[in-house]
Amino acid sequence: MWNLFSILTEWGTAKPYYSKSMLNLSLQLSVYSPSDRDHHFRDHRFYDDNKTYYDSPRINHLDPYHGWYFGEQVIPGPGPKHRLFGRPLYFDFRYIGTRDLPSLPKVDFITSLIIPRQFYRPIPKIELIFRSLPNLEIFRYEPWYPISTDRAWLHEADLLAILDSLPPTVTRFSGYKDSNDVLNRSNGGSFAENAGSKVFSISQRLIELDLSFIIDAKSFFAPFNEDKEKDSWDNLEGLTLTSDSLRLNASPAEVDKLLRSAAEVALSMPKLQMMELWSGKRSQARIFRYTRYKDNSLVEWLETGLSFTALGPSVKRSWQMVADKYVRGHMDFETRDIHPDSIRCRGSILPYLMRRDKTLTSASLQQIMWEATELKRVRRQAPPHSVQPIMHTV
């Protein structure tokens, strides 16, 4: 990273006619292990993940709080899933001759930073990278859910550090925390509990905010009820959030409360063009969409099976107030049925979202949609008289 940023700082200075202001580049960073090419999931059976595996006899490990450990003993290593995601990585600034925590060299012509989903390993200390990008305008963040509870707190700590250090120059912030039913059996649907209020504050200076499965929409809307006169989103044009309150077994009262809260917040968003709230999993999907046009606006409710209409009288009244304020009262309401068989996984919902290209980078979006329709997916199927699950390809 130090070498990369050092080289980039020289761009625009080697040739006088090549101005830095003309570069305006996006930087995409991924992390992987050189040994990944040797595996490709070959002979990996994930039900063996709790067995003992072993690393190299010599262990050089950097603990983020206690420093380096050097050992000669053989230490139990990770199973296949843990090997795929790798150990947490950390910057070691001794390689550049210091033990302090300096900034990387500054690169003033990078305006977009992308952390894509193509590799599973998390990138450490993104807040440190932020310091070296003084003109960053777009941040797109596509992490994977942690595969074990012992790593979950690290992921949430990383997210909170990112939110605390997100540069004030950033106007477009998107995030999609991915999971699948093979790698994330138990914790593929949890939200960061303490991040909603931080995102709430950040969003008031943004133009676009699109976060899926990172925070819950109800935790984002909650702070607004405390001081409605103080909070406003003068620049926000697009908003995408997910919420557990939109699960299919949520009570009508819970859904109603979420959608009315969304309308109250929308009253303080004078430039809002579209808001999408959604959630779902295999065979289940719910999408709420508000779209504002020049002379009218539209509220849509999409659901698998249409077990009930969420656009009841109280929700319609709340959103009618938004229309009365911004589009001279013209508001239409529509409901649409989504066939459950078309939702093979969470990624199958993405084609129904209007802001899908804002939620994910184009390569990630194509990748997820291909996985949802074409990939021969791995399923669990326990054999008779056995509690040990077996992996089958169908």
Query: What does the DSSP assignment read for 57-96?
Result: SSEEEEETTTEEEEE-S--EE--HHHHHH-SPP---GGGG
Residue owning tokens 């990383």: 158
Give residue 333's identity as a one-letter amino acid code: F
User: What length does the chain have?
Assistant: 394
| Whether the Cβ atoms of residue 208 and residue 172 lie closer than 8 Å to each other | yes
Supply the pTM of this predicted model.
0.83
| Closest by CA position to 222, among listed 238, 200, 237 | 200
Distance of CA 187 to the CA centre of its chain: 15
Q: Count of CB atoms within 10 A of residue 357's CB?
A: 13
Which band of pLDDT confidence, cut at 50, 70 and 90, is reported for residue 305? confident
Summarised one tens digit per residue, pLDDT across range 287-302 is 999 999 988 999 999 9
| Per-residue tokens: 1 | 């990273």
**52-64: pLDDT as tens digits:** 433 333 334 444 3
Residues 6+ away with beta carbon under 8 Å from 62: 68, 69, 90, 92
Q: What's the pLDDT score for residue 51? A: 46
Report the relative pairing of strands 274-281 and 238-242 from DSSP bridges: parallel
**pLDDT for residue 233:** 95
User: Tell me: the pLDDT tens digits for 85-120?
Assistant: 777 777 877 777 766 656 788 999 999 999 999 888
Helix or strand or coil: residue 298? strand
Kindly list the distances between the CA atom of residue 42 and the CA atoms of 9, 45, 83, in Å, as whole numbers in the listed order.
41, 9, 13
Residue 109, both tokens = 């012509």
Helix axes of 252-266 and 313-326: crossing angle, nearest 10 degrees: 10
Tokens 């039900």 correspond to 47
CA distance 239 to 273: 9
**Domain residue limits, the chain:** 24-30+91-393
Assign 302 to helix, strand or coil.
Answer: strand
- pLDDT-wise least confident of 185-199, 213-227, 315-329: 185-199
Predicted pLDDT of residue 98: 63
